[in-house]
Amino acid sequence: MGSIDEEVSLLEVEESLIQEELKLYAEDGSIDIYGNPPLKQKTGNWKACPFIFANECCERLAYYGIAKNLITYFTNELHETNVAAARHVMTWQGTCYITPLIGALIADAYWGRYWTIACFSAIYFTGMVALTLSASVPGLKPAECIGSLCPPATTVQSTVLFSGLYLIALGTGGIKPCVSSFGADQFDKTDPSERVRKASFFNWFYFTINVGAFVSSTVLVWVQENCGWELGFLIPTVFMGLATISFFVGTPLYRFQKPKGSPITRVCQVLVAAYRNLNLKFSEEYHTHLFETRDMNSSNIGDCKIEHTDGFLTKPQLYQKEKPNPIHGSSVP
């Protein structure tokens, strides 16, 4: 009896040690830079956040440093009319708010958030450099007005300028939808203490956005109006470079979530399946024959399982039991 009790106690101690060891690692399905479960003490949490905050603050400073005064640049430096300048700026800003759909799709389905932010930050920075060159190099900007005669921009000058602007629009499309989510990935949602810190993270995240927007809307606008557009565009370009560098410096501290497929694809699959099962009726029999996992967790590691409800969007889970074929004795749906 003594040996059995000792063996049981040893098993309990071993199990408790295993549980303690598991608590040392994040349990939300994330991985570290080496593809292993991330150690909580060395990755994620507030240790990784300063690099993400710096990236977002500098990126927003760069974006608003261009957007706030861009109409003035078109009218004063490119000699555009107010109507043409407003049209160009509104089209560009609209593109900046459409491209995040592309960035989100790429991040969710293919690259993951980290590589999407990294690649699109490089595109963003390239666009900033092109824009700065178009405002600095004499051959890439129109000549100054001579009296009432204001020469328009040439084809080459317009190409360089708009190439820079739309590279920026593409770059912001990969950063805007991913940075906040990537920051949230640094906190293990299965850990109650880290869930509390995640809520605080979003407060600081939006504070950094407003800091960048405030500085660009005041200081940078003043620089552009009083010190020249060359310096006015160079400063946000430098800050965008710092944003990219800051993001890469924090790489060893990050936690990464693997791509889990496009949610757009899954939504379309649900709608198609719901339409096909439109004529099926809910019953207790059907409730025992649903396409869903039987345990409490989602089939995607780290995701939450949505609570079951009856309705149109539950019909994709229904399927008919096979019925015997009265002619051949086989089963048919």
Give me the pLDDT at residue 252, please: 93
The tokens for 172 are: 């912001």
Give me the pLDDT at residue 147, please: 75
For residues 143 and 55, give the distance between their C-alpha atoms in angstroms, rounded to a whole number.
36
Radius of gyration (Cα) for the chain, nearest Å? 28
Contact yes or no for 171/22 (Cβ under 8 A): no
Give me the pLDDT at residue 29, please: 84
Give me the pLDDT at residue 262, please: 76
| pTM, to two decimals | 0.78
Nearest to 188 by CA among 12, 8, 24, 55: 24
| Residue 232 CB burial class (10 angstroms; 0-12, 13-18, ≥19) | buried
Give me the pLDDT at residue 329, please: 41
For 150-203, the pLDDT digits (tens) are 888 889 999 999 999 999 999 999 999 999 999 999 998 888 888 889 889 999
For residues 27 and 34, give the distance between their C-alpha atoms in angstroms, rounded to a whole number.
16
Contacts of 221 (CB under 8 A, 6+ apart): 68, 69
* Stretches in the chain below the pLDDT threshold 70: 1-22, 277-278, 280-333
Q: Report how far apart the first and last C-alpha atoms of the chain are (Å, whole number).
A: 58
Give me the pLDDT at residue 327, please: 43
Give me the pLDDT at residue 309, please: 62
Contact yes or no for 291/313 (Cβ under 8 A): no
For residues 42 and 186, give the distance between their C-alpha atoms in angstroms, rounded to a whole number.
11
Give me the pLDDT at residue 287, please: 52
Dihedral sign from CA coordinates of 160, 162, 165, 166 = negative
